[in-house]
Amino acid sequence: MPAITDVSETLDVITKTPGETIVRGPDGWVPAQAPGPSLAANWTVIHDETLSSPRSSIDVTGLGAWNEFLLFAQSFTASSTGVRFAQVSTDNGATWHTNSGDYEAFQDTGVRLPRSGFSFHGGATTAARGGIVRLTGNQTPMPLNGETGESNRMMVSFVASEAPISGIRFRNSVFTNIDNGRFILAAR
């Protein structure tokens, strides 16, 4: 019995998450990445920020271990007419995927529609707008998929890389300041 306790305490150094699997990696034992959506039942708020002054974006990095994300934008105004949207990074914010074609959607007619991010709402404006974007599949070899806040809850895929995303940037689509509002990022 003491040997089981010793082994358990040693493994707790790697992870204390009930039900998590560990595997032998090239440099030792590490927590295994889930092969699909996270097995975690609950969402964890990992960023909650209310802007107190205008700025160009809200950047959150260090996200590579998460499988799914919920992004909430509440009552954001902007200095120039645009759509509030999110873009991702695969190198922890050193660069951001901002080009049209880094993301894509398909119209209801089946025509490919290149995109430059995940939109929270339709219709460009400076007025207070918000929305919810859900991103899934961060630990799979398939593209990261997002359900956006546009009409008909358009599905948009991040297609510029198969690497897990490690950063999410929230901003106005025309690269001008977001003036005020609240941004919440939850993950599991």
Beta pairing, strands 28-31 & 22-25:
antiparallel
C-alpha 127, offset from chain centre: 24
Assign 36 a pLDDT band (cuts: 50, 70, 90). Answer: very low
Which pTM value belongs to this model?
Answer: 0.75
Q: What is the overall mean pLDDT for the chain?
A: 83
Q: How far apart are CA 178 and CA 77, in angstroms?
A: 6
Contact between 150 and 103 under an 8 Å Cβ cutoff? The reply is no
pLDDT(155) > 70: yes
> pLDDT tens digits for 70-87?
999 999 999 999 999 999
Is 32 or 42 the better-scoring residue by pLDDT?
42
Question: If you average pLDDT over residues 47-64, what whole number do you get?
Answer: 94
Q: Read off the amino acid at residue 160.
A: A
Question: If you average pLDDT over residues 117-123, what whole number do you get?
Answer: 88
pLDDT(47) > 80: yes
Q: Read off the amino acid at residue 47.
A: H
**All domains of the chain in start order, with CATH:** 2-31 (no CATH), 44-187 (2.60.120)
Cα-Cα-Cα-Cα dihedral sign, residues 73, 65, 163, 36: negative
* DSSP sequence for 18-51: TT--EEEETTEEEEPPPSSS-S--S-EEEEEEE-
Assign 4 a pLDDT band (cuts: 50, 70, 90). Answer: low
pLDDT(19) > 70: no
Contact between 186 and 135 under an 8 Å Cβ cutoff? The reply is no
5 phi and psi angles, rounded to 5 deg: -65, -45
